[in-house]
Amino acid sequence: MDSTKNQPRKHKLIEHANGKSLEEINGTVEVPHGKNFWRTLFAYSGPGALVAVGYMDPGNWSTSITGGQSFQYTLMTTILISSLIAMLLQYMAAKLGIVSQMDLAQAIRARTGKALGIILWIMTELAIMATDIAEVIGAAIALNLLFHISLIAAVFITVLDVLLLLLLTKIGFRKIEALVACLILVILFVFAYQVVLSKPDWGAAMAGLLPSSDAVAKGPVVGGISPLTGSLGIIGATVMPHNLYLHSAISQTRKLDHTKVEDIRQTVRFTAWDSNIQLSLAFVVNALLLIMGVAVFKSGAVTDSSFFGLYDALNNTSMLSNGVLIAVAKSGVLSTLFAVALLASGQNSTITGTLTGQVIMEGFIHMRMPLWARRLITRLLSVVPVLLCVAMTAGETELQQHHAINMLMENSQVFLAFALPFSMLPLLMMTNSEVEMGEFKNAAWTKLLGWISVLGLTFLNLYNLPSTFEGFGLWSKGVADLLAWLTIVVIVALLIWTIVELYRGNKRFAAEHQAHPWETVATAE
């Protein structure tokens, strides 16, 4: 008799994984059936909050506030359009996870070869680390501003958020969702309070939501950016690849019977409600940030758009637009609330970034490690460039230091432009497939809007790469443009490779479906 069978299994730091997405929480949340709309919606609410966090993280703040400072309400329409695109893409991602029972990384890997899977994993890891750099900077600056801790010490303290993650993994996924939702409400309250005090021109703000060619004009150039550059920055900071992977995984946390089409229909429906409600809140937050740039500060007053600069501006009564704001600013409330919101945003992103990292690691290369180890490694890697930036600017003026840190955060986001098409295109192709999705495949209008969104965002991200490379300030304009175009060629070649492998994978799946049509759950009755 084998006495080892009943012994507890020893867990290794790194293990092979090829099972359900985020297996520890997959299908763990009970949902009601046959209950009223609001009770059912409450049970499904939560994953949308984790996704919405990515649309209001510290990387979004300076682009929206600077856009308001420079072009008044012109870029409100850009925030609205990018939010609507986000709703469409996140709906597809959640639907893919629910119907196929695979997250986006698993679904791509199932249709592509090992070599391409590793390349896509590395690319997506870099994108996640880029967003983590923004979180490190945001959280470290918030700690510095609130508690006067040195910036280097604050950067190291951000590593300790792994302890928060360890605690959260013990309390259950439903409580994690509630905590994230509460932190979102803190951020919403802070910016709503400041905007209400500023008494903005609401008519002009509403008019700014209407599509206008002014939002993509190449002039006027204010502070080195044009409306087109500002719009591209907002779009780049809003629609991020890691959110698509995350949503396709956490949409599977609700318990359902995949042999019952009605269960799948209910889950798709209420998950879409949850996602759209939470992303609407994210739109409100980003709109409030832009309105802050217009109404809280005097036009052109903020020359330092870093987090330090915005904090100081909220303390500087000569920069504020009216007497009410000035009176409140004298108490220090405005700047303190700003720093609190910054800290809340950074902690929110900690949770979602770690979950996403686990999703892509398991999906693309079938490797699993504990969430705390995953978080520790990612955070330590993200801390290095921030520490180098602080050390290299130690002998410069305070304004130059702030500018360098801000540029590091903005330039790190270039990896998002690399990775985004490789998540959007596969997502659209798979959710358009009747073989994969059955009755849940994208409707004709969804396909049309999906292709317009995917091709438009891909074009804009690639179109903006030359100016992004020039903005690094490391090379002459000619060298920067050459490197940018070489990068574009590589990205396009990889996209073609990805599309070809996905097409072949889908044909293989179609052939298998014709051989065994009864195995497709989504079309079962």
Given a cut of 80, is residue 69 above it in pLDDT? yes
What integer pLDDT is reported at residue 525 of this predicted model? 37
Name which of 446-455, 457-466, 486-495 the model is least confident about.
457-466
CA 466 to chain centre: 23
Please list, residue by residue across 440-465, b when 16 or more beta carbons sit within 10 angstroms of its beta carbon and e when fewer do: bbbeeebeeebeebbeebbebbbebb
503 belongs to a structural domain: no
* First-last CA distance in the chain: 46
CA angle 227, 232, 235 (to 5 degrees): 125
> Model confidence at 10, in pLDDT bands (50, 70, 90)?
very low
What integer pLDDT is reported at residue 8 of this predicted model? 44
Coil, helix or strand at residue 297? strand
What integer pLDDT is reported at residue 15 of this predicted model? 56
Coil, helix or strand at residue 254? strand
By residue range, what is the domain housing residue 409?
23-417
271 belongs to a structural domain: yes
% of the chain at pLDDT higher than 70:
91
498 belongs to a structural domain: no
Q: Are 520 and 435 in contact (CB under 8 A)?
A: yes
Non-local (6+) Cβ contacts of 178 within 8 A are 46
What integer pLDDT is reported at residue 313 of this predicted model? 85
What integer pLDDT is reported at residue 2 of this predicted model? 45
Segments in 317-370 forming alpha helices (H)? 323-329, 333-365
Residue 112 burial (CB count, 10 A): 21
pLDDT per position as a tens digit, 33-56: 878 899 999 999 989 998 988 788
What integer pLDDT is reported at residue 352 of this predicted model? 77
Find where tokens 């900690």 sit: 350
Strand residue runs (E) in 109-252: none
Structure tokens at 407: 């540029």
pLDDT, mean of residues 463-473: 77
Between 199 and 517, the higher pLDDT residue: 199
HEC readout, 424-467: HHHHHHHHCCHHHHHHHCCCHHHHHHHHHHHHHHHHHHHHCHHH
**CA dihedral (294, 296, 301, 307) positive or negative:** negative
What integer pLDDT is reported at residue 205 of this predicted model? 92
Eight-state DSSP code of residue 298: -
Amino acid at 78: T
**CA dihedral (218, 219, 225, 230) positive or negative:** negative
Structure tokens at 102: 């695979």
> Model confidence at 354, in pLDDT bands (50, 70, 90)?
confident
Domain count, the chain: 1
Structure tokens at 166: 């360890």
Which of 358, 345, 356 has its CA nearest to residue 247?
356
What integer pLDDT is reported at residue 312 of this predicted model? 86
> Model confidence at 514, in pLDDT bands (50, 70, 90)?
low
Mean per-residue pLDDT of the chain:
83
What integer pLDDT is reported at residue 62 of this predicted model? 75
pLDDT per position as a tens digit, 495-506: 999 999 998 888
pLDDT, mean of residues 289-294: 88
Inter-CA distances, 84 with 87, 340, 419, Å? 5, 28, 20
Its pTM stands at 0.87
The most confident of 188-192, 227-231, 398-402, by mean pLDDT: 188-192
129 belongs to a structural domain: yes
Given a cut of 60, is residue 14 above it in pLDDT? no
pLDDT per position as a tens digit, 140-178: 888 888 998 888 888 888 877 766 666 766 777 788 888
470 belongs to a structural domain: no
497 belongs to a structural domain: no
Eight-state DSSP code of residue 294: I
Given a cut of 70, is residue 432 above it in pLDDT? yes
pLDDT, mean of residues 387-415: 77
Name which of 67-76, 216-225, 330-339, 456-465 the model is least confident about.
216-225
% of the chain at pLDDT higher than 90:
25
pLDDT per position as a tens digit, 258-270: 888 999 999 999 9
pLDDT per position as a tens digit, 86-109: 999 999 999 999 998 999 999 998
Given a cut of 60, is residue 518 above it in pLDDT? no
- The CATH number linked to 346 is 1.10.4160.10
Residue 488 burial (CB count, 10 A): 15
Q: Packing angle between helix 371-392 and helix 398-412, nearest 10 degrees?
A: 140
> Model confidence at 522, in pLDDT bands (50, 70, 90)?
very low
425 belongs to a structural domain: no
437 belongs to a structural domain: no
Q: Are 409 and 134 in contact (CB under 8 A)?
A: yes
Residue 397 has phi, psi (to 5 degrees) of -70, 160
